[in-house]
Homo-oligomer: A and B are copies of this chain.
């Protein structure tokens, strides 16, 4: 049961042709007579031939693999929905090809070193990078390596050459406009980390929407996307602007925290204060009340990153992409 798979040479012998011919058939090149082709195909079937990918890689100088790298210091960041959804999207496209998918979680210094080696040794024909922090060393490393790289998301400091991102700004506008359409006029926001692209973009979207309606955008508290910071932000907002009648919160985790604080302060949601979150995490459906939020096309992000990378590898033309977000209306606003 452990017998070595047959080689191309053996197939050639069996089919009574040269290895060159077998190779041509396998890579369905032209200039092969029907007769040889059939003989080869029969031999392949009979022997159960499977090409040796390693040998082929060595000969062609192509690995037949792409890598999905996730750079982060905090391993907990992998452990979320986002991650799984991206991979699902990536896989959908990879599955249409013969490529292998390598996963590189660069959580530690070792992980980063491994990534560097993959780049230098051309272990992958291309790389998709989810750089979760700003100014990511891997990002720079990758773009300098000469290996095709597609980024998921952008960073503040440096816009990658090729990227796919969600429309954070548009999503924030959507959310804020929804609040406006509900007749709210004293709308505040709890921002995410303002040293991230997403954080800034969502804040800008919020301000944009208010500016267009000529309303004040001065009710703002700063958070860092975490639930705890959402609680703190909501308290600040309530203290500074007790007249608040709605709040756009830049992440669902923060919104969950904010919801708790509102409850504690006796403000009914959405009657007294309407709340909209961002991300549409699973738990958004389970908060009390269920959270109205902005859905990001995460799986699509994975799919488009992969498509883009494949084109890059094939030297086709590509263009960076911003994917639309959409509002999911539930009970909180």
Give A residues with C-beta under 8 Å from B.
1-2, 5, 48, 50-55, 57-58, 63, 65, 68, 75, 78-81, 83-85, 87-88, 91-92, 95-96, 98, 100-105, 107-108, 110-111, 114, 117-118, 120-123, 144-146, 256, 282-283, 286-288, 299
B79 touches A85 (CB 8 A): yes
Output the least CB separation between A216 and chain B (Å): 33
Set of chain B residues within 8 Å of A120, measured between Cβ atoms? 5, 48, 50
A88 & B79 in contact (Cβ 8 Å cutoff) = yes
The smallest C-beta distance from A186 to any residue of chain B, in angstroms, reads: 28
Given A5-B122, A87-B103, check contact A95 B81 (CB 8 Å).
no
Residue in B closest to A113 when the chains form the complex, CB atoms:
B95
A104 B107 Cβ-Cβ under 8 A? no
- CB of B78 within 8 A of CB of A81, answer no
Is B95 touching A87 in the complex (CB atoms < 8 A)?
A: no
Shortest Cβ distance from A143 into B: residue: B1
Q: Which residues of B contact A117 (CB under 8 A)?
A: 50
A191 to chain B, nearest CB (A): 23
Q: How long is the Cα–Cα vector from A111 to B110 in the complex, in angstroms? A: 31
Q: Report yes or no: A121 in contact with B5, Cβ–Cβ below 8 A.
A: yes
Q: A103–B105 contact, CB under 8 A?
A: no
Say yes or no: A144 contacts B84, CB within 8 Å.
no
Tell me if A256 and B78 are in contact (CB < 8 A). Answer: no
Q: Check if A102 sits within 8 Å of B105, measured CB to CB.
A: no
**How many Å from the CB of A137 to the closest CB on chain B?**
17
Once bound together, how far apart are the Cα atoms of A78 and B114, in whole Å?
26
A50-B120, A50-B121, A52-B121 are known; give 20 further A-B pairs, CB within 8 A: A1-B145, A1-B146, A5-B122, A53-B121, A54-B54, A68-B103, A75-B88, A79-B88, A81-B81, A83-B84, A95-B105, A95-B107, A95-B111, A100-B102, A100-B118, A101-B102, A102-B102, A256-B286, A283-B286, A286-B286
Indicate which residue in B83, B103, B144, B283 contacts A283 across the interface (CB closer than 8 Å): B283
A144 to B104, CA, bound (A): 29
Q: How far is the CB of A127 from chain B (nearest CB, A)?
A: 13
Considering the complex, give the chain B residue whose CB is closest to the CB of A63. B54
Q: Which B residues are CB-close (under 8 A) to A58?
A: 52, 54-55, 58
Complex Cα gap A1–B283 (Å): 46
Q: How far is the CB of A312 from chain B (nearest CB, A)?
A: 14
- A145–B50 Cα distance when bound, in Å, is 13
For the complex, give the distance between the alpha carbons of A98 and B258 in Å: 45
